[in-house]
């Protein structure tokens, strides 16, 4: 049995964690949202230096926060790839391109791959199989786009700690799978780029709290949604 006190469905979960950390372990609360942002930006700069980085930007919370952190850390050395998989909301692609390209000035490439995703999903009804198919096609597309760019040394991902937990079995073989994530253990072994995951040790609520204290609060944070391709997992492929 796996129990997740950190998720919103566990009403007193954060109180349990707070009591354990502060009262039982006697830890001090020094990890503030502002410090999380500053530390993440500094770690990115130390890790990648002047190298170029490519990021798959979905418009969801995790990849959006990752994009803004990288943009602050390395500026124009970041290239974002937004993939239209045919499973988005009405005008969602245009909204993402407008917000991150026009408003925030990120380098962003729009890839239209609706037919490719829908063809790969056709006839498949199992949610776990759909996740793996979607992950595989995304990895293929990012690899293709990286080859078009010059001297890209790093692949950035919006991996957060629950992704690691939920994909534990596929990554370590030592736990039950809750659901697989293409950004945990789903990358090809022969991939030549290094991996940048600035949110990997954070839970979703920590990501939201961090970005809520950020300068982009009134624009970016009010638009970002946590959807992560849920429409694909819920629908019946035809």
69: closest CA among 138, 153, 143, 156? Answer: 156
59 among annotated binding-site residues: yes
62 among annotated binding-site residues: yes
- Helix (H, G, I), strand (E, B), or coil: what is residue 196? strand
49 among annotated binding-site residues: no
Query: Could you give the C-alpha distances from 91 to 87, 88, 217, in angstroms and in order?
Result: 11, 8, 22
Burial 204-213 (b: 16+ CB within 10 A, else e): bebbbebbee
231 among annotated binding-site residues: no
Note whether 61 and 207 are within 8 A (CB).
yes
64 among annotated binding-site residues: yes
The residue with tokens 């380098």 is: 107
- Residue 152 sits at the vertex; the CA angle it makes with 193 and 200, to the nearest 5 degrees, is 50
Query: Measured between alpha carbons, how far is 158 from 195 in angstroms, rounded to an integer?
Result: 11
158 among annotated binding-site residues: no
Structure tokens at 192: 């030549």
60 among annotated binding-site residues: yes
Query: Measured between alpha carbons, how far is 200 from 72 in angstroms, rounded to an integer?
Result: 18
Structure tokens at 22: 């502060």
- Helix (H, G, I), strand (E, B), or coil: what is residue 58? coil
Query: Measured between alpha carbons, how far is 85 from 153 in angstroms, rounded to an integer?
Result: 25
Where is the binding site for ATP, in residues? Answer: 58-64
Where is the binding site, in residues? Answer: 58-64
């Amino acid at each position: 049995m796996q129990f997740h006190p950190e998720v919103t469905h566990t009403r007193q979960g954060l109180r349990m964690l707070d009591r354990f950390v502060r009262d039982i372990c006697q830890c001090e609360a020094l990890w503030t949202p502002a410090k999380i942002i500053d530390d993440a930006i500094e770690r990115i700069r130390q890790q990648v230096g002047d190298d170029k980085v490519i990021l798959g930007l979905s418009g969801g919370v995790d990849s959006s926060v990752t994009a803004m952190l990288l943009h602050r850390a390395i500026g124009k050395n970041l290239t974002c790839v937004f993939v239209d998989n045919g499973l988005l909301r009405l005008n969602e692609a245009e909204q993402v391109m407008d917000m991150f390209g026009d408003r925030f000035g990120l380098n962003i490439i729009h890839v239209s791959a609706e037919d490719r995703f829908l063809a790969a999903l056709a006839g498949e009804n199992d949610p776990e199989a759909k996740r793996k198919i979607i992950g595989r096609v995304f990895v293929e597309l990012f690899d293709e786009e990286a080859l078009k760019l010059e001297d890209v040394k790093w692949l950035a991902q919006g991996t957060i700690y629950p992704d690691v937990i939920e994909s534990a079995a596929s990554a370590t073989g030592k736990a039950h799978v809750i659901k697989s994530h293409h950004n945990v253990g789903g990358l090809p072994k022969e991939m030549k780029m290094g991996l940048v995951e600035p949110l990997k040790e954070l839970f979703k609520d920590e990501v939201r709290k961090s970005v809520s204290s950020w300068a982009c609060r009134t624009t970016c944070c009010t638009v970002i949604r946590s959807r992560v391709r849920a429409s694909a997992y819920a629908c019946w492929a035809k």
